[in-house]
Structure formats: structure tokens, C-alpha cells
Structure 1
Amino acid sequence: MNDDPSRGTTLVVGASRGLGRGIAAAFAADGAPVIAVSRTAAEFPEAANGPGSIRHETADAAEAAVSAALLERHAPRNVVLVAGATPLLRPLHEHTWESFSANWQTDVRITFHWLREILRAPLKPGGRVVVISSGAALAGSPLSGGYAGAKATQRLITGYAQDEARRSGLDLTFTAVLPKITPLTDLGRPAVQAYAARGGQTEEEYLRQLGEPLTPEAAGAAVVSLVRAEATTIAPAYLLSGAGLKELP
């Protein structure tokens, strides 16, 4: 039996586009059966499947009952949470409470429901859980309302889940990954444009200061490598950029 956790069934929540899509394709290319969860239908090219496979589940991951149902149905070895709301980009005083709190109502809600059910089920021994937060949790994001705070809370909740797993004697590993802003996703592209304009820069000038952009393919490779690592070497959180993963204190 192959005990490599990256080859076990991996459930990717938010797999239809951007980093989530890159992560789902990377696990399939590495040989894992992948369950790709998203609110809208998604198709993956045959070449993306490699020696593994990708099955799609259409569901709203923020609904309380969805996490329990999909965990029971697919019994995954690993879970990667990428799904979240696209923030409305405007200054603080131009937000409504509804727009300001959108990422709390979606991103944090998803993380809470899924980590709760993962601990209650629980996942199979040796399971890995990766929560994709954002570099905004460290740097702030003044044009996206409560986005940065929501992303910081995702990181905190992930740490809480690891503590509870240890207290319960569960052989599970939880970690948070905080990707830096990238123009190569539907989420990052308008943010790059907005922050460049706010700073009186061209997009090219703004991007130069960010360094090598993070691609969905690179994000996928990084998460696969993280899941394949020895559990004892996995840190509570990482910053992810085009240069790769960097352990956070």
C-alpha cells in the first residue's frame, strides 16, 4: 500500500478557477484521485488529469451541511480549502457593512464549517489539511474591506484545529498557506490594477516591486510538496510567492 498522503484522495474546495484549479490539477498530475468542489460546473482538460483523476462536485461550500456530506461521501485523505468571496475593491468609507463583511460571511464560514467537520469525522489517520488564506493577512488590504482580517482569522482557526487534533490524539496535520497577490488569477488581477492606481503607478511598476508572480501551476506544485512532506516538518503557516513556500514564525 502506498502511504504517501499526496496520492490519497484529495478534496479541493474552490477548484473551478485560479489557484484552486491549479492545485486540483497538480494533485491529479501527481497521481491522486481529486474531488474538485465548486459552486459552478467546471471542466478540466484530460491532460490535467495525468495518472490521477478529477471528479467534480457542484456545491456551495459555505452551507453548513455540505462539508459533512462530502467528507462522508468521498472519505478523502487530504482537504485543501481555497474557496472564498471576491472582495469589492473600494476605500473603507465607500463600503457598506455587507460588502465589508463579505469575506467573513464566506471565507471564514467555509473554514469554520470544514475544519469543524474534519475534526468531528475525523479524516483518516495521516490526513493533511491545507487552508489557503492570503498574504493580505500579514500586509493588510485597505481597498478590500474586511478581507485581510478574514484571511488572518482563517490562519488562526487553522491553528486552533491543529491544537484540537493534538488534544484529541488525532493523527492530522493542519497548515495555512498565505499566497501573495498575483495578476494571474481573477481575484488578483483587479486588485493589482486597483492598488497600482491608488499608488499612482502603472501596473508594470507595481508588479516589478512584487517580484516573480505566483502562477496557479506553481501554487499547485507547492501544495503537493507540502502534503508530501513529513508531518513533523510541516509548519503552522507559510507565505507563498513565485519563489515558493516560506515558513512563517
Structure 2
Amino acid sequence: MEQKNVMVVGGSRGLGRAVADAARTAGARVTAVARSGPVAGDATDEAFADKVLAEHRPDLLVVTAGAVPVMRPLTEHTWETFATNWNTDVRIAFGWLRAAMRLPLAPGSRVIVFGSAAELLGASPLSGGYAGAKATIRMITGYAAAEARNLGITMTTVLPTITPGTGVGEIAMAAYGRRGGPDPDAVGAAVLTLPTDSAAYVWEGDGFRAL
């Protein structure tokens, strides 16, 4: 990571902030993109993604931004609340993956997109379309990985489990009565040590395992 340019979309809080802190500790030059901060904007805005990547051209782009799911039984959802993570998380992943290839980023660059282990566990019945949205993120990152191969860009998805100390994690733990989970700093540091390939990794125990 020494002297690498790292950009974290959603880097002001939660897992994004943990990744940004770990990258700084490893000697990288870090740009955090968030709604407020040095690089401020709406991560769902595709034109904003194009502009920011063209200006900063990161060696590593990490996309963690997303919406906190609305937690309620299916009968109490509207389509708008159910689709919260489809309209935000999936759109963010789509926009930044597309922007990275359309620019394109330099050969040897890497994009890591955060999904969720909820898509594998099938254990988020109160969170509307959250698990399905995260499964779609992994799917479109796989599509992007195949398209980006000739550009020399790798695309990776990581699937953390419910993580304390994050907005989504705290709300999910309260809704499902769960306790424990990985430390956000451990997840952030582990992301930077993943093999340089286009694959997907799920958090298991105390580290990431390739799917």
C-alpha cells in the first residue's frame, strides 16, 4: 500500500472508515468519498462517479457506501421501503464499476465492492430487499470483472457478516437480537491483504474465505 492512491466510497463511517484508516496506516494516500467531507457528493450519481475517478485515478477503489435497510416485517413494507437497497446500494455499485471501466482506470488497478454475507445466509427477513440487493451487487461485480480483464483491472466482491459498530450492523443486531461479530478494524485491514484476483470473499471466523 505504500504510496498507493486508495479511494474509499463511503469512507467517512463504518467499514468504509475502517478500510480508509487501515490504508493510511499502511502508507497509502487515501481519498474518502462521502456526502460530507473533502470529496463530497452523492455516490448514486453516475456523473459524480465519472468526475471523481477522472480527477483522482486511484490504484485501489473500495466501494462500501450503501443505505441502512428499513427493518420491518414484509406486511409492513411498502415497495419504496422494500427497495431501499436496490435503489441505493445496487445503483452505487453499478455506477462506480461502470465508471472505472469507462475511464478506464490504469492497468493493474483494482476495485473492491462490499456486498453482504446476508445473501448467502438467507437470514434477513426483516430487511426487505437487502439480501437480494447484495446478491445482485456480487453478480454485477462478476460481470464487470469479466469485462475489465482485457483492461488489466481486477474486480472483487467482499461479503462481511453483521458487523458491530456500523450503522447497518447495529440496526440489524437490534432487530434480530444478535450479539458479537467481526471487529470493523479487522475487516478493514483484511480487505487490503486479499489476493489480487477477480473473485468473491466471505468473512468467516476471523478472516476472508474465497467463495
Shorter-chain TM-score bucket reads over 0.9
- TM-score w.r.t. the length of structure 2 is 0.95
Counterpart residue number, 2:186: 218
Counterpart residue number, 1:180: 161
Counterpart residue number, 1:24: 20
Which of 68, 75, 88 is 1:86 aligned to? 68
Match runs of 1:143-222 below 5 Å: 143-166=126-149, 169-196=150-177, 206-207=178-179, 213-222=181-190
The alpha carbon displacement at 1:117 in A equals 1.0
Matched, 1:36 2:32: yes
Matched, 1:112 2:94: yes
Letter in 2 for 1:144: S
Deviations 1:100-133 (CA, angstroms, capped at 9, x unpaired): 0010110000011111111111111100110000
The count of aligned residue pairs is: 210
Counterpart residue number, 2:11: 15
SS across alignment from 1:36:
strand
The alpha carbon displacement at 1:137 in A equals 1.3
Letter in 1 for 2:4: G
Counterpart residue number, 1:246: 209
Cα distance between partner residues in 2 of 1:31 and 1:183: 26
The gaps in structure 2 that reach 5 residues or longer are: none
Cα distance between partner residues in 2 of 1:171 and 1:119: 10
Which of 110, 113, 118 is 1:128 aligned to? 110
Q: CA RMSD in A?
A: 1.4
Counterpart residue number, 1:138: 120
Cα distance between partner residues in 2 of 1:190 and 1:223: 23
The alignment-based identity, stated in percent, is 51
- TM-score w.r.t. the length of structure 1 is 0.81
Letter in 2 for 1:25: D
The alpha carbon displacement at 1:185 in A equals 1.5
Deviations 1:126-145 (CA, angstroms, capped at 9, x unpaired): 00110000011111211000
Cα distance between partner residues in 2 of 1:88 and 1:79: 27
The alpha carbon displacement at 1:235 in A equals 5.3
Cα distance between partner residues in 1 of 2:21 and 2:204: 19
Deviations 1:142-201 (CA, angstroms, capped at 9, x unpaired): 1000000000000001100011112xx2111111000001222121112111112xxxxx
* Runs of 4 or more consecutive aligned structure 1 residues displaced over 3 Å after TM superposition: none
The gaps in structure 1 that reach 5 residues or longer are: 42-55, 197-205
Letter in 1 for 2:175: A
Structure showing greater Rg = 1
